[in-house]
Amino acid sequence: MQKNPHDILKQYWGYDNFKGSQEKVVSAVLEKRDVLALLPTGGGKSLCFQLPTLLNDGMCIVISPLIALIHDQVESLKNKGIKALALTGGISQDEVINLLDNCLYGNYKFLYLSPERLKQELVLKRIEAMNINLIAIDEAHCISQWGHDFRPAYLECGMLRSVLPDTPIIALTATATEQVSKDIIDTLNLDTPLTVKDSFARDNIAFQIVRTEDKRYQLKQLCAATKKSIIIYVRTRRSTVDITRYLNGNGFKSDFFHGGLNKNEKKKKLNNWLQNTSQVMVATNAFGMGIDKPDVALVVHFQIPDCLENYFQEAGRAGRDGQASKAVLLTNKTDEAYVSSQFLSVLPDTQFIKKVYNKLNNYFQISYGEWVETAFQFSLYNFCNTYKFNTLKTFNVLRILDQYSVLALSESFSKQSEVKFIGSKNMLFDYLDRSSKTTVTIIQTLLRTYGGLFDFETKINTQLISKKTSQPEALILKVLVQLEKDALIEYKAQDNDLEINFLVPREDDSTINMFSRKVEELHKIKTEKLYSMLRYVQNTSVCRNRMLLSYFNEDKKKDCGKCDICTANVSADINLEINQIIIGLLKTGNKSSRTLIEITGLQQNIILNSIQYLLEEEQITINSINEYQLNK
């Protein structure tokens, strides 16, 4: 007997009812209609294409930009007893053929592809021969140059319409403006699609901006007030380790997560967090994509993200269980000035892209017109040091060359050197007393440069240590080997952090000229997105929730009542009461704002607003040690 959608929903997902517009989307797909589904983070996008596939003969092709997300979804389907496989990078031609044969003859239901695979004629020919019942384009905003994560390879998705003209297409995203939605429909040639947009409003989340010069203290206070799971987003891998160490030192069960960890490390850390062995996960921004953990009560951004799309998606990982939760961004004036210079100063212009591409070919001794198909192991630091390039700006060039298929760039951080001190600190002091001056300098430089060396296996850059100590890198490596022999450290020795495959023959300026204008346009878009993010941070009058929804073309009439803007707009009577509470506390002695917040238990912005008012009215003053006192 043919099962209905609710039977499948219960059998594989364990739910009795659909969420939001899921049922409407599933019904449209079963009617073989094209669909554009704009569903918020946590809205259950993957179910919208997985469930109808299980009700039909044949299989679904899923295009996704994130390898980690592909593997997570394939693993999840396998755990449900559903046959699925992934065709991503790093697979030999023979293995590609075998996997495609499995799709043809192995009764598989899902084939996940990175968009770059659609450029291969072999892949397209095999897809044409398969029984495909649905094409799903996940993270569809990547198709549009107006999207926050535009990937030119996604433009290849449009050709699936000509290869499989009778197969319905569903495009899904959690963050799309009106312009992006139009681009998705046009590029994919969607035929009078059903466009479904659930409200992006997350009424259970209190969006807050907290301005503070002591971010770590505020972070500790936020974590102490939260009983459920927490995500803290930071900008760098080193920060994940440093902040995890700080939180663990203050009694929180914390762990860190970033793209440089190997597969086993990621799996272990993720499982510990999912099972609540670790309460706090300190992570770079890729963490959380596609991960279903409903009980996250707090998401903290330790620095300002580069666009509202990323911020809203990451903040939206809080409160998926519908319970009250917070999304807090910690900032200050220094941070706001820094984010502008940091993001804008490393956007490479056409001349710099050409220069890096030229030097890259020279670095690997590739002659004009030559195409070398060998994969090159590559140290970004060494390359930048050779040509005196800014590291981040150069890495952005490599990403652009990867986006436009000039080369394939893959991070191989598992090949970096790793160090962990396993001896006690007393052993270290004894060792330093017995060692040469050079060895002591190298050890001290390591400890000053990298936090957490006694707590975690830490990836180090031996070229950087060489530069800081003015010693040859060969000597640095020799000392590390000796420290391992003397049982002071654990040491894994590697020296490359990237792998590069050149995809086209070297033609210098001609290669870059093909897409230079598009890159300049994209830089303008990125700049405007950053300014939109800063306007959100600097806003002092509009409800945060309403401002975010307005950015995504959604008009919300009512203020949320939970964000820092709304809670600051309390009634005059309440303000007066708080002022009197502060004055009463100051009568017993001078106090800092931190002390006043701790004693009253009120939100920081409420106390700071009252302090500002009392200062302006000259009822209180601030002394030389930043304590407030009554004005005599």
Task: CATH 3.40.50.300 in the chain: give the residue spans.
Answer: 5-197, 205-340
Question: Do 493 and 338 touch, CB atoms closer than 8 A?
Answer: no
The predicted pLDDT at position 155 comes to: 81
Closest CA to 240 of 281, 270, 273, 275: 281
What letter does residue 266 receive in the DSSP assignment? Answer: H
The predicted pLDDT at position 491 comes to: 85
Distance (Å, whole) CA 302 – CA 273: 19
Distance (Å, whole) CA 282 – CA 204: 23
Fold of 346-412+498-527: Arc Repressor Mutant, subunit A (1.10.10)
Q: Kindly report, residue by residue over 577-591, the tens digit of the pLDDT.
A: 888 889 999 999 999
List alpha helices for 346-488, DSSP H: 350-363, 380-387, 391-403, 425-434, 437-449, 462-469, 473-485
- Label each residue of 492-532 as H, E or C: EEEECCEEEEECCCCCCHHHHHCCHHHHHHHHHHHHHHHHH
Distance (Å, whole) CA 412 – CA 419: 17
CATH number among 1.10.3720.10, 3.40.980.10, 1.10.10.10, 3.90.79.10, domain 570-630 = 1.10.10.10
Q: Kindly report, residue by residue over 342-380, the tens digit of the pLDDT.
A: 788 888 999 999 999 999 999 989 999 998 877 787 888
Question: Do 498 and 411 touch, CB atoms closer than 8 A?
Answer: yes
Closest CA to 621 of 579, 586, 581: 586
Fold of 5-197: Rossmann fold (3.40.50)
Distance (Å, whole) CA 319 – CA 301: 16
Task: CATH 1.10.10.10 in the chain: give the residue spans.
Answer: 346-412+498-527, 570-630
> Which residue in this structure is represented by tokens 């496989």?
85
Give the contacts of 131 (CB within 8 A, at least 6 positions apart): 57, 58, 59
Instruction: Tell me the chain's radius of gyration from C-alpha atoms.
Output: 27
Q: What is the model's pTM?
A: 0.68
H or E element that contains 97: helix 93-105
Assign domain 205-340 to its CATH superfamily: P-loop containing nucleotide triphosphate hydrolases (3.40.50.300)
CATH number among 1.10.287, 1.10.238, 1.10.10, 3.40.50, domain 414-495 = 1.10.10
Local mean pLDDT, 10-residue blocks, the chain (632 residues): 81 90 94 92 86 94 81 86 83 80 87 85 87 92 76 81 92 85 91 90 92 90 92 90 94 88 80 93 76 88 92 90 92 86 86 96 91 80 89 89 82 62 86 91 89 78 81 84 88 70 90 90 88 94 93 87 81 68 91 87 79 83 86 79
Q: CA dist 342 to 100, 107, 307, 346, 355, Å?
A: 44, 50, 13, 7, 21
Q: Both tokens of residue 563? A: 């964000």
